[in-house]
A and B are shown apart, each in its own frame.
Chain A
Amino acid sequence: MSSVAVSNKKGFGATLWDYLTTVDHKKLGVMYLFAGTLFFAIAGFEALLMRIQLMIPNNDFVSAGTFNELLTMHGTTMLFLAATPLLFGFMNAIVPLQIGARDVAFPFLNSLGFWLFFLGAIFLHLSFFLGGAPDAGWTNYASLALYSPGHGIDFYVLGLQISGAGTLISGINFIVTIITMRAPGMTFMRMPLFTWTTLISSTLILFAFPPLTVGLFFMLVDRMFGANFFDHTMGGNTIIWEHLFWIFGHPEVYILVLPAFGLFSEIIPVFARKRLFGYSSMVFATILIGFLGFMVWAHHMFTTGLGATANAIFAVATMAIAVPTGMKVFNWIMTIWGGSVKVTVPMLYALGFIPSFVAGGVTGVMQAAAPLDYQLHDSYFIVAHFHYVIVGGIVTAIFGSMHFYWPIMFNRALNEKLGVLTFWIFFIGFHLTFFLQHFLGLMGMPRRVFTFQADQGWDLFNFISSIGAIMMAIGVVLLVINIIITAKSKPLNCRDYWGDGRSLEWAIKTPVPFYNFKQTPLIRGFDPYWLEKHDGNKEGMIYAEPLGDIHMPNNSILPLVMSIGTFIAAFGALYHPDGVAWSIPVIIIGLGITVASMILRSVKDDLGYHVHVEEVIATEEHLYGKGGNK
């Protein structure tokens, strides 16, 4: 183990093996980021195909059946397999640095969470090649999904079951990390906002994913093993799916948007060059949004017929969420207000985010009024609303943070000029696509239709919307080009790339050594790096311990093996309803592999290893040169 730290030239096989077995939060963060980008591109391509189909009336670019598969896979992939892993990428890469930790609490589980997510995602996407993708919408309502022919829905259920388990595991890991692994002095009320939102959104994962697991399990046994949860002729009830799905589905929105809020709360103070306005109220608002997020799921079901009383309660609870969210928006504005603003690419995304997200929030409050929702339900107004929230809130956060954190994650900076161009093309394309969809909805165009008749007043708006979608696609291609160009650029080897970093992650020099901080830092207050800079501390931090041996976790291939086991078992379950003889044996073999690896993990001691002081010094000299001046 000792030579790993210093040697940096490795063959392809060794590098691959390193990534397959790694438990390093920084490498897993990079893997999450690239896996998320891959699925983001796939789902974006699906969206583009849909917009081309809807560009002109009576189009026959794709068939109605294909359109259903596209809209289902677009929604499912974007939420579960693109936005979630992209945010997990930042959480993994940044949160341990922000709290001054060596790694996450359970590095092994971190790796397991990634591989479960990734293999679940691959499994879901195999559906395209094995008889058709799921086609019942990302909400997969049981009354529709139960009777969908072929294996599409089975892929959805099993793929999400596997990747959902990975997400839950990662969520638990982040909670424990933030509770137990904070550096001395890093009290809860000194934690950066991104760490706070990671904590709260992980807590939401903790309570939101089990209902989804249960719902997916019901769907699985109903479709594949003859159970009757949703079959009304056998006493079942399809509304149970709607409840379970939305008890998960609404918090899922906050699971994604809270870390996005956190990222902007990091970006804005750095470039406004002011302390974050109203830190405690930001924390309070985050917790309140997380809490209220669980009280509002039935606002997706106003038209299901729960009755006036239930609708009224959920309507009021939904409107209440606007209060803490509004607090956040005003705090961001007050942070910018009077600041000496430096408009870099991340700041551009932040400035674009505020009005876009507010627009999405306001239409959300409109829909919270249950009587109005009867008009808006299942129309393009809804599509416009949630894309304003998701693209305007989450995607801008992800793109902005890519620029913001690229120096820490890759020791290189994304190109600013290309970044500005990307921002404008993407941002204008985004508003072009979705702004007019509000009006399409109000004019009565239903969502999830594969074509429409001409001369209903919808033609022009749909055409413009499709042009906007093409612009968004160009923006994403430019971002990918930027990433490729940057990969060939010179390494930065610097600290605090933006010059105005405030929290602890900026105090560490890039490239970040595999053990993070050579000594655990001592935190003296909120914005610790800014405090130290202010006091003229050249090193950027003071330390809580002398330089000593560092304890690190061992790499392991077992997380991948466990995930492959569930992947194999899923194939057995998938083909069970076809009556093939091998389905049950395959399930047993797959789960056997998983259980055997778990037992192996349990009985084999994994004590980690120590990096000795001399190796730490050698590594630091290798990375930064003697005296830190490379």
Chain B
Amino acid sequence: MEHTKFTPQTWPDKAEQATMEGRNKFVGIWIFICSDITLFASVFATYLSLKDKGPAGMEFSAAELFELPLAFVMTMLLLTSSLTSVYAMYHLKNHNFKGVQIWMSITVLLGLGFLALEIYEFYHYVHIGFGYTQSAFSSAFFTLVGTHGLHVVIGLVWIVCLIVRNAKRGLNLYNAPKYYAASIFWHFIDVVWVFIFTVVYLMGVLG
């Protein structure tokens, strides 16, 4: 199946599910996301119960710490990257491999931008004394946002591997499900960020 050459005319409708391996990957990534949702739910619940909790007389609180402009820029970068990965999947459906590679690359660049801002944000907090071990609040905050950041890193490494590995050989039924699964995972990361933006930053600033 790797050597079958396709044209946009012969390319199957649901290429990502055209083979049994592809269908397994498609179902598998959704099932995996179910468990990842539970993982994030547990961390969210912990964050909410430890928000603003710290040693007696702690000077940090969510209302003073978080700033919406930076979080807004990060949100926009990540939401846009989700959109560009949809474009990549659009081209995947039409067997336009160049389009897939270009839009996936743009997705990676936007993801890197998000990651850079997150690293800057963490560096800033640590710099002003709000380190990982400072309080229960800081541990919970860094764990929640850091777990999401780790997912972003994994997603980026995954997509970069796909782009580099397949650069010379084009689209086939073996790698189409891989692109598709990576894109679903990327959307999931995006959805989690929407909740982080709401629960951590918006609710944090509101107090």
A residues sitting closer than 8 Å to B (CB atoms) are 105-106, 168, 171-173, 175-176, 179-181, 206-207, 209-211, 213-215, 217-218, 221-222, 225-229, 231, 233-237, 240, 243-244, 247, 599, 602-603, 605, 607
Q: Tell me the residues in window 27-61 of chain B with beta carbons closer than 8 Å to chain A beta carbons.
A: 27-28, 31-32, 34-36, 38-39, 42-43, 45-46, 49-50, 53-55, 58
Q: By the criterion of a CB under 8 Å from any partner CB, how many residues of chain B are at the interface?
A: 40
Does B133 reach chain A (CB closer than 8 Å)?
Answer: yes
Does B143 reach chain A (CB closer than 8 Å)?
Answer: yes
A229-B136 contact given A175-B31, A214-B42, A235-B58, CB 8 Å threshold: yes
Once the chains bind, are B174 and A229 in contact (CB under 8 Å)?
no
Q: Which of A180, A234, A236, A603 contacts B23 (CB 8 A)?
A: A180
Q: Which of B39, B136, B164 contacts A228 (CB 8 A)?
A: B136
Once the chains bind, are A106 and B132 in contact (CB under 8 Å)?
no
Once the chains bind, are A227 and B139 in contact (CB under 8 Å)?
yes
Once the chains bind, are B28 and A228 in contact (CB under 8 Å)?
no
8 residue pairs of the A-B complex, CB under 8 angstroms, read A176-B24, A180-B24, A207-B35, A210-B39, A229-B46, A229-B136, A234-B136, A235-B136
A180-B42 contact given A210-B35, A227-B139, CB 8 Å threshold: no
Contacts of B20 in A (CB 8 A): 180-181
Does B158 reach chain A (CB closer than 8 Å)?
Answer: yes
Q: Tell me the residues in window 125-139 of chain B with beta carbons closer than 8 Å to chain A beta carbons.
A: 132-133, 135-139
Q: Which of B36, B49, B55 contacts A233 (CB 8 A)?
A: B55
Specify the chain A residue showing the minimal Cβ separation from B34.
A206
A179-B174 contact given A172-B32, A213-B39, A602-B158, CB 8 Å threshold: no
Contacts of B35 in A (CB 8 A): 168, 171-172, 206-207, 209-210
Once the chains bind, are A214 and B46 in contact (CB under 8 Å)?
yes
Once the chains bind, are A210 and B42 in contact (CB under 8 Å)?
yes
A228-B2 contact given A206-B31, A206-B35, A599-B157, CB 8 Å threshold: no
Specify the chain B residue showing the minimal Cβ separation from A607.
B2
- Closest Cβ of chain A: how far from B81's Cβ, in Å? 21
Contacts of B136 in A (CB 8 A): 228-229, 231, 234-237
CA distance A236 to B138 in the complex (A): 10
Once the chains bind, are A602 and B161 in contact (CB under 8 Å)?
yes
CA distance A176 to B20 in the complex (A): 11
Q: A218-B143, A602-B158 are in contact. List 17 more A-B contacts (CB 8 A).
A: A172-B28, A175-B31, A206-B34, A206-B38, A211-B42, A214-B46, A217-B143, A218-B46, A221-B139, A222-B139, A234-B54, A235-B136, A236-B53, A237-B49, A603-B161, A603-B165, A607-B1
Contacts of B36 in A (CB 8 A): 210
Contacts of A240 in B (CB 8 A): 46, 49-50
Q: Give the one of A175, A176, A228 with max B CB within 10 A.
A: A228
- Closest Cβ of chain A: how far from B109's Cβ, in Å? 20
Q: Give the one of B55, B139, B161, B165 with max A CB within 10 A.
A: B139
A237-B28 contact given A210-B38, A226-B132, CB 8 Å threshold: no
Contacts of A175 in B (CB 8 A): 31
Contacts of A217 in B (CB 8 A): 143
Contacts of B139 in A (CB 8 A): 221-222, 227-229, 236
Q: What is the 8 Å Cβ interface bit string for chain B, positions 4-38, against chain A (1 contact, 0 not)?
A: 00000000000000001001100110011011101
CA distance A605 to B138 in the complex (A): 43
Once the chains bind, are B24 and A106 in contact (CB under 8 Å)?
yes
Once the chains bind, are A221 and B31 in contact (CB under 8 Å)?
no
Specify the chain A residue showing the minimal Cβ separation from B27.
A176
Contacts of B137 in A (CB 8 A): 235
- Closest Cβ of chain A: how far from B37's Cβ, in Å? 8
Contacts of B39 in A (CB 8 A): 210-211, 213-214
- Closest Cβ of chain B: how far from A515's Cβ, in Å? 15
CA distance A71 to B39 in the complex (A): 29
Does B140 reach chain A (CB closer than 8 Å)?
Answer: yes
CA distance A210 to B41 in the complex (A): 9
Specify the chain A residue showing the minimal Cβ separation from B28.
A176
Specify the chain B residue showing the minimal Cβ separation from A208.
B38
CA distance A607 to B133 in the complex (A): 47
A176-B161 contact given A225-B132, A237-B49, A607-B2, CB 8 Å threshold: no
Q: Give the one of A226, A233, A236 with max B CB within 10 A.
A: A236
CA distance A181 to B20 in the complex (A): 8
Once the chains bind, are B31 and A607 in contact (CB under 8 Å)?
no
CA distance A181 to B24 in the complex (A): 9
Specify the chain B residue showing the minimal Cβ separation from A179.
B27
CA distance A234 to B139 in the complex (A): 10
Specify the chain B residue showing the minimal Cβ separation from A230.
B136
CA distance A237 to B138 in the complex (A): 14
Contacts of B133 in A (CB 8 A): 225-228
CA distance A213 to B161 in the complex (A): 27
Contacts of A243 in B (CB 8 A): 45
CA distance A282 to B37 in the complex (A): 29
A211-B2 contact given A176-B31, A236-B50, A603-B161, CB 8 Å threshold: no
A221-B49 contact given A105-B28, A602-B161, CB 8 Å threshold: no
Q: Give the one of B23, B39, B49, B158 with max A CB within 10 A.
A: B39
Contacts of A206 in B (CB 8 A): 31, 34-35, 38
Specify the chain A residue showing the minimal Cβ separation from B55.
A234
Contacts of A207 in B (CB 8 A): 34-35, 38
CA distance A231 to B45 in the complex (A): 17
Specify the chain B residue showing the minimal Cβ separation from A228.
B136
Contacts of A168 in B (CB 8 A): 35
Once the chains bind, are B55 and A235 in contact (CB under 8 Å)?
yes
- Closest Cβ of chain B: how far from A430's Cβ, in Å? 35
Contacts of A211 in B (CB 8 A): 38-39, 42
